[in-house]
Amino acid sequence: MSQDATLELVALTKRYGDALAVDRIDLKVASGAYCCLLGPSGCGKSTTLRMIAGHESASDGDVMLGGKRVTGLPPARRGTSMMFQSYALFPHLSIADNVAFSLKMKGVARAERLARAAEMLALVDMTAFADRLPAQLSGGQQQRVALARSLITRPQALLLDEPLSALDPFLRVRMRGELKKIQRELGLTFVHVTHSQDEALALADLVVVMNAGRIEQAAPAREVFGAPRTEFVARFIGGHNVVDDGSGPVAVRADRIAVMKGGMGLPATVRDIEYLGATVSVALQADQLGELTAVLPDGRFFADPVAPGEQVMLAWKPEDAHRLAA
Amino acid sequence: MSDTPMEAAPFAEKAPDAPVRVLSEGLASWLLVSPLAILLAIFLVIPISVIVTVSFWGYNEWDFYPDFTFENYEYLLTSAVTFDTYVKTFSYVLMAWAFTAAIGFAVAYFLAFHVRSTVWQVALFLVCTVPFWTSNIIRMISWIPFLGRNGLANEVLLQAGLIETPLEFLLFSDFAVVLAFVHLYTLFMVVPIFNSMMRIDRSLIEAARDNGASPFQILTNVILPLSKPGLMIGSIFVVTLVMGDFITVRFMSGSQSASVGRIIQNEIALLQYPAAAASAVVLLITVLIMIAVMLRLVDIRKEL
């Protein structure tokens, strides 16, 4: 599976009647990279994924995988495999038969396809459940089975549609780790659709923030968080204050704002204090800039705490203010 | 829970002189169950008990009388006529079932998977029920001018030069009987199969496509197995209706063919009530066994 699996979208467009769901997006995902499509619902991220998978036809533009144009091919002949949000396991088939489904469709003999399904189930640690029905499995277990069913087709790119949204928070973090591990081990290109910033930052080599059918920013996770390109990205990714410094909007990370009881700075009033464990979030009303949030490490905050109603001074380094494009 | 009037407490302050009456739990449950229990007793248990009782009575040419004899059953179960009639009825059931299942599945599949808009789905579904706006008998009889020797079908075929003499098998034949059954009962297949199909998660179809299944493979590997409960419910309707039918067989075969239902009808016409009752009991047991076998094959519980 070490073949070239570079995924490239060229002016990819999806129109429903007059409505543009995806508006001429260009994107290049390096072979073996973990890419997250991030955005609010209705931003076109799922449509984009479904066009890559072939479950939605592209109105215009192309999908290239491993240097080959796959735009018109049926889903199974693109070298992609899709993992569905609800996992879409066949309820009438055992776990082993679910995993072996694609081999059955190809006409592989029963003994051989079950043997290969067993290998895949071993990979996701589900060997013990081979004879059960999907309804007898928990959400996390079903997801592993769905992963095994996708991987047995030996895809170059695995496409995941909100794979973690049906799980409880604890399991979500665990499955997140397992997805990343499998991606690293198999060296596949992953495209993962999510609306959770945490998920995207934790998993992705390439975070693609989408809004209204367009790509707002496509960059490594640290760059998206450290230097959001637009106001939308800064607000959506969270942890940022967007303020107007007179010459246009700038983004300042909440954890880069210093809250002082005196000295030089922007005068502000403390509105609220939220204790978050490792950090403390301070909601502020600045005289000129409106509402701001500062996030302080709990040690620093409690060394000299402020209280709601108190007057403080705010300051940040010039290099922490990122100018935003419109 | 105790039988003491618990609800009385909160109201005690407002209306100390009017304690709320609370039925004991046992009595309440009996009262809740009783409407259905009484209905079932009157319309199911008592009639069947009467039939079973009468089936052991004796009869002669002009009278029947209380008795406890196995003669009715003995005659019934050793008669070659009974055997032949059952074979004939089973053949009707099999043919009617095969055609209604095939047509019902195709119609339901079209409605569920090819008609995209809900409005059209509902509209076409209602169109399927149009024949049911008129009675069984009328729907059946309306075939006669169409299928008869000088009927529309023969006229058209003659004029088109496809045949030289009128086709005789169209009316008053097994063909006509099965045709009428299919016409009358296909909707009983369409409805439950359509219901099953509408419950199939559409992402399963995409998942199958993603795994390389062709449209035909999706049909046989995903849609058909998941439609089985509906198919089975429809089959139960069709099998029980055709097993007990006497009027369709009589009209459409021109009284030339027999079915179990027609035997019972004849016996009643001859006032041989005990014989008719025995035939009815045997028919009932046969149908119950068939349903039990069908329920063994497919688990329909998740559909109810």
Is residue A266 located within the same domain as residue A296? Answer: yes
Query: Average pLDDT for residues B150-163, to the nearest whole number?
Result: 86
Tell me the C-alpha distance between B209 and A171, whole Å.
Answer: 29
Asked if the structure places residue A231 within a domain, the reply is no
pLDDT tens-digit readout, A34-68: 999 999 998 999 999 999 999 999 999 999 999 89
Is residue A19 located within the same domain as residue A125? Answer: yes
pLDDT tens-digit readout, B134-156: 888 888 888 888 888 888 888 88
Residue A37 contacts residue A43 (beta carbons within 8 Å): no
Query: Average pLDDT for residues A72-86, to the nearest whole number?
Result: 91
Residues in chain A closer than 8 A to B208 (CB atoms):
90, 101, 105
Asked if the structure places residue A221 within a domain, the reply is yes
Out of A183, A198, A226, a domain closes at A226
Residues in chain B closer than 8 A to A102 (CB atoms):
211-212
Q: Is the pLDDT of residue A245 over 80?
A: no
Q: Is the pLDDT of residue B18 over 80?
A: no
Asked if the structure places residue A85 within a domain, the reply is yes
Residues in chain B closer than 8 A to A74 (CB atoms):
209
Taking CB atoms and an 8 Å limit, are B212 and A82 in contact across chains?
A: no
Q: Which residues of A fall below an 8 Å CB-CB distance to B?
A: 53, 55, 74-77, 81-82, 84-86, 88-92, 101-102, 104-106, 149, 153
Burial of A150 (0-12, 13-18, 19+ CB in 10 A): buried
Burial of A223 (0-12, 13-18, 19+ CB in 10 A): middle
Per-residue pLDDT band for B49 (boundaries 50, 70, 90) equals very high
Is residue A160 located within the same domain as residue A250? Answer: no
Q: Is the pLDDT of residue B283 over 70?
A: yes
The pLDDT of residue B292 is 92
User: Domain-by-domain residue ranges, chain B?
Assistant: 80-303
Read out DSSP for B190-228? HHHHHHHHHTS-HHHHHHHHHTT--HHHHIIIIIHHHHH
Asked if the structure places residue A185 within a domain, the reply is yes
Per-residue pLDDT band for B17 (boundaries 50, 70, 90) equals low
Residues in chain A closer than 8 A to B300 (CB atoms):
none
Q: Is the pLDDT of residue A121 over 90?
A: yes
Residues in chain B closer than 8 A to A101 (CB atoms):
208, 211, 213, 221
Out of A195, A226, A257, a domain closes at A226
Give the closest of B207, B213, B217 to A88, CB-based: B207
Asked if the structure places residue A32 within a domain, the reply is yes
Which chain B residue has the Cα nearest residue A97?
Answer: B221
The pLDDT of residue B1 is 39
Asked if the structure places residue A78 within a domain, the reply is yes
Query: Average pLDDT for residues B66-92, to the nearest whole number?
Result: 91
Tell me the C-alpha distance between B52 and B166, whole Å.
Answer: 48
Residues in chain A closer than 8 A to B206 (CB atoms):
55, 75, 82, 84, 88
Can you give the C-alpha Rg of chain B in angstroms? 27
Is residue A255 located within the same domain as residue A213? Answer: no
Out of A174, A197, A226, a domain closes at A226
Which chain B residue has the Cα nearest residue A154?
Answer: B211
CATH of domain B80-303: 1.10.3720.10
The pLDDT of residue B303 is 54
Q: Is the pLDDT of residue A78 over 70?
A: yes
Per-residue pLDDT band for B257 (boundaries 50, 70, 90) equals confident
Q: What percent of chain B has pLDDT over 90?
A: 52
Give the closest of B203, B222, B226 to A84, CB-based: B203
Taking CB atoms and an 8 Å limit, are A105 and B206 in contact across chains?
A: no
Is residue A200 located within the same domain as residue A97? Answer: yes
Per-residue pLDDT band for B301 (boundaries 50, 70, 90) equals low
The pLDDT of residue A246 is 76
Is residue A210 located within the same domain as residue A263? Answer: no
Query: Average pLDDT for residues B127-139, to the nearest whole number?
Result: 85
Query: Residue A145's domain spans which residues?
Result: 7-226
Read out DSSP for A229-260? SBHHHHHHH-SEEEEE-SSSEEEEEGGG-EEE
Report the mean per-residue pLDDT for chain B. 87
Nearest chain A CA: its distance from B208 CA (Å): 8
Tell me the C-alpha distance between A155 and A78, whole Å.
Answer: 8
Q: Is the pLDDT of residue B15 over 60?
A: no
The two structure tokens encoding residue A22: 């995806």
The pLDDT of residue B4 is 44
Is residue A18 located within the same domain as residue A80? Answer: yes
Is residue A293 located within the same domain as residue A204? Answer: no
Is residue A163 located within the same domain as residue A191? Answer: yes
pTM of the predicted protein model: 0.81
Q: Is the pLDDT of residue A120 over 80?
A: yes
Query: Tell me, what CATH number does A141's domain have?
Result: 3.40.50.300
Asked if the structure places residue A233 within a domain, the reply is no
Give the closest of A77, A84, A104 to B207, CB-based: A84
Query: Average pLDDT for residues A188-213, to the nearest whole number?
Result: 93
Is residue A302 located within the same domain as residue A191? Answer: no
How many domains are contained in chain A? 2
Among A93-102, A245-254, B10-19, B111-120, name the most confident range.
A93-102
Query: Average pLDDT for residues A156-181, to the nearest whole number?
Result: 90
Which chain A residue has the Cα nearest residue B214?
Answer: A105
Is residue A266 located within the same domain as residue A216? Answer: no
Is residue A269 located within the same domain as residue A165? Answer: no
The two structure tokens encoding residue A63: 């999908």
The two structure tokens encoding residue B223: 């849609």
Nearest chain B CA: its distance from A93 CA (Å): 9
Tell me the C-alpha distance between B208 and B204, whole Å.
Answer: 6
DSSP A325: B
Interface test with A, best of B211, B224, B227 (most A CBs within 10 A): B211
Asked if the structure places residue A236 within a domain, the reply is no
Q: Is the pLDDT of residue B274 over 70?
A: yes
In A70-165, beta strands by DSSP E: 80-83, 157-161
